[in-house]
Amino acid sequence: MSKIIGVTEARSKLGEIVSDVSKKKESYILTRGSKPQAAIIPYDEYLAIEEREKQLWDERFELAINKSRTLFNEWLRSRGYDPEKLTEEEAERIIKSA
Q: What is the mean pLDDT of the chain?
A: 96
The confidence band for 65, taking pLDDT boundaries of 50, 70 and 90, is very high
* Domain 3-41 grouped into CATH 3.30.70.260: no
Q: What's the average model confidence in pLDDT over 10-18?
A: 97
Q: Which of 18-22, 48-52, 91-95 has the lowest mean pLDDT?
A: 91-95
Helix (H, G, I), strand (E, B) or coil at 83: coil
User: CA distances (Å), 95 to each of 75, 79, 83, in order?
Assistant: 10, 12, 13
**Domains of the chain, residue spans:** 3-41, 45-97
Closest CA to 19 of 36, 40, 4, 1: 40
pTM, to two decimals: 0.69
pLDDT for res 9? 97
Give mean pLDDT, residues 84-92.
92
